[in-house]
C-alpha cells in the first residue's frame, strides 16, 4: 500500500508539472526563438549546453527512478511518462539556476577563493565517482563538472544573500499545531441535527461519522488551515472542549479539541514558517528580475536528450556531493 500511495503522489506531481509548463517567474519560456548550435536554451546572453543538461538529467533520472525501491520506469502514469517528468524537472532547475546566476551578476556577487576551493573538491570527488561508461555517456571532464558546480554555487549564494535577513524567530502561538476532530455540513437542517446530538452528549466521533462532509474527521491543523471564523474559535479551545455551531460562508463547522498544543509538530512548523518567509523574500526580488529576461528553448536539441536507463549508468550523487562540500556557500 505504501508503494501505491507514493506512485499516486508522483502521478499528481506529473500532472501538476505538465499543467504549469516551464516558466521563469510567471513568464513562459519561449520555444525555438533563435537558439543555435548545441545549446538547450538561452537566457539573454547566457546559454546552457547539452552536456550540462545531460548531467542534470541523468542524475535526476537515477534519483527518481530508484525511489521507494520501485522500478518507476516500468510504471504507467497515464498520459505522462516518468521520462517526461524527469526532463521537465531538469529543465525547470537549469532555467532557475541560470536566471539566479544572471541576477547574481547584476548584483556584482563573486565567489571567494575558499568557496572555489570547496567547489574544486566537490568536482574532483564527483568526477572520480564516475565509471568510464558514465564518462563516455556524459562526455564531460572534471573541469566541466567544476563549471557546473560553480554556477550552482553562485545560485545558492544568491539565495542565501536574499534571505539572510529574514526573521528566524517564530513564536509558539504563531507556529502552534493542534489536533482536532471536525464536522462540516453544508446544509442548515443537518447542522441543526448535529447541534442537537452534540448538545445531548452524543459521542463526537460517532456524530462526525454520520454527518461530516470533509475527507477526514481527526486532523492536525496550524494557523491558516481553517476558515478564519473557525480558526479563531478552535485556537482558543482547551483539550476535550467542543465548540458550538460555527457558521462559515458555505456551511457549518463543529470542532472538538483533542490536543491544543502538539509540541513536536509545532517545532517542525516553525522551520516551515521560516522557509516560507525566506521564499517570499527571495521571490519578491527574483520574479521582478526575471520578468525582463529574454528566454528561448531549442526544442529540437532538447527533444533529442533522453534518460539513459540501461545498466551501468547509475550516477545519482551530483547534488549530494555538492551539498557535502558546499552547503555553507
Sorting pLDDT into bands at 50, 70 and 90, what band is 82? confident
Sorting pLDDT into bands at 50, 70 and 90, what band is 67? low
Q: Report yes or no on whether pTM surpasses 0.75.
A: no
Greater confidence (67 vs 239) lies with: 239
Please state, in angstroms and rounded to a whole number, the distance separating the CA atoms of residues 276 and 289.
Answer: 20
Instruction: Choose among 34, 48, 95: nearest CA to 296.
Output: 34
CATH, domain 178-260, list 3.30.300.100, 2.60.40.10, 3.30.499.10, 3.10.50.40: 3.10.50.40
Please state, in angstroms and rounded to a whole number, the distance separating the CA atoms of residues 257 and 202.
Answer: 16
Please state, in angstroms and rounded to a whole number, the distance separating the CA atoms of residues 143 and 299.
Answer: 27
Residue with the three cell numbers 562526455: 139
At 1 the pLDDT is 35
**What's the rounded mean pLDDT across residues 248-252?**
96
- pLDDT tens digits, 164-219: 989 999 999 999 999 999 999 999 999 999 999 999 999 999 999 999 999 999 99
At 264 the pLDDT is 96
Sorting pLDDT into bands at 50, 70 and 90, what band is 159? very high
Greater confidence (20 vs 97) lies with: 97
At 172 the pLDDT is 95
Cell, residue 156: 545558492
Percent of the chain having pLDDT more than 70? 84
Greater confidence (36 vs 98) lies with: 98
**With the CA atoms of 274, 276, 282 and 285 taken in that order, what torsion angle do they form, in degrees rounded to the nearest 10?**
-120
**What's the rounded mean pLDDT across residues 66-78?**
50
Listed by start position, the domains of the chain span: 2-166+291-326, 178-260
At 20 the pLDDT is 46
Q: What angle do CA 221, 224, 229 make, to 5 degrees?
A: 95
Greater confidence (328 vs 69) lies with: 328
Percent of the chain having pLDDT more than 90? 78
Beta bridge partners of 248: 251
Please state, in angstroms and rounded to a whole number, the distance separating the CA atoms of residues 86 and 305.
Answer: 11
- Contact between residue 213 and residue 190 where contact means Cβ atoms under 8 Å apart: no
- pLDDT tens digits, 102-158: 999 999 999 999 999 999 999 999 999 999 999 999 999 999 999 999 999 999 999
Asked if residue 98 has pLDDT above 50, the reply is yes
Asked if residue 55 has pLDDT above 80, the reply is yes
Asked if residue 6 has pLDDT above 50, the reply is no
Task: Supply the mean pLDDT for the chain.
Answer: 88
Please state, in angstroms and rounded to a whole number, the distance separating the CA atoms of residues 171 and 160.
Answer: 23
Sorting pLDDT into bands at 50, 70 and 90, what band is 81? confident
Asked if residue 25 has pLDDT above 60, the reply is no
**Helix (H), strand (E), coil (C) string for 144-190:** HHHHHHHHHHHHHHHHHHHHCCCCCCCCHHHHCCEEEEEEEECCHHH
Amino acid at each position: 500500500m505504501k508503494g501505491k500511495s507514493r506512485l499516486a503522489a508522483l502521478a499528481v506531481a506529473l500532472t501538476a508539472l505538465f499543467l504549469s509548463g516551464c516558466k521563469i517567474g510567471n513568464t513562459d519560456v519561449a520555444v525555438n526563438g533563435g537558439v543555435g548550435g548545441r545549446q538547450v536554451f538561452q537566457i539573454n546572453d547566457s546559454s546552457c549546453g547539452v552536456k550540462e543538461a545531460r548531467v542534470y538529467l541523468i542524475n535526476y533520472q537515477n534519483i527518481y527512478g530508484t525511489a521507494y525501491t520501485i522500478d518507476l520506469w516500468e510504471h504507467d502514469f497515464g498520459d505522462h511518462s516518468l521520462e517526461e517528468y524527469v526532463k521537465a524537472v531538469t529543465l525547470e532547475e537549469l532555467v532557475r539556476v541560470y536566471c539566479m546566476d544572471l541576477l547574481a551578476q547584476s548584483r556584482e556577487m563573486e565567489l571567494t577563493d575558499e568557496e572555489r576551493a570547496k567547489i574544486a573538491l566537490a568536482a574532483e570527488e564527483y568526477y572520480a565517482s564516475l565509471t568510464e561508461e558514465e564518462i563516455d555517456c556524459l562526455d564531460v571532464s572534471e573541469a566541466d563538472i567544476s563549471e557546473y558546480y560553480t554556477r550552482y554555487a553562485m545560485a545558492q549564494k544568491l539565495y542565501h544573500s536574499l534571505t539572510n535577513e529574514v526573521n528566524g524567530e517564530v513564536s509558539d502561538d504563531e507556529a502552534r499545531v493542534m489536533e482536532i476532530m471536525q464536522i462540516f455540513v453544508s446544509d442548515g437542517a443537518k447542522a441543526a441535527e448535529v447541534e442537537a446530538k452534540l448538545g445531548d452528549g452524543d459521542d463526537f466521533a460517532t456524530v462526525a461519522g454520520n454527518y461530516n462532509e470533509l475527507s477526514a474527521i481527526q486532523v492536525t491543523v496550524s494557523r491558516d488551515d481553517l476558515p478564519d471564523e473557525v480558526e479563531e474559535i478552535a485556537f482558543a479551545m482547551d483539550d476535550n472542549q467542543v465548540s458550538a455551531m460555527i457558521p462559515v460562508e458555505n456551511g457549518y463547522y463543529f470542532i472538538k479539541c483533542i490536543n491544543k498544543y502538539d509540541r513536536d509538530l509545532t517545532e517542525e512548523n516553525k522551520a516551515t514558517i521560516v522557509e516560507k518567509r525566506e521564499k517570499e523574500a527571495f521571490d519578491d526580488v527574483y520574479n521582478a528580475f526575471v520578468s525582463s529576461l529574454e528566454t528561448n528553448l531549442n526544442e529540437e536539441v532538447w527533444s533529442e536528450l533522453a534518460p539513459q536507463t540501461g545498466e551501468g549508468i547509475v550516477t545519482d550523487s551530483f547534488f549530494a556531493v555538492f551539498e557535502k562540500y558546499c552547503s555553507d556557500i
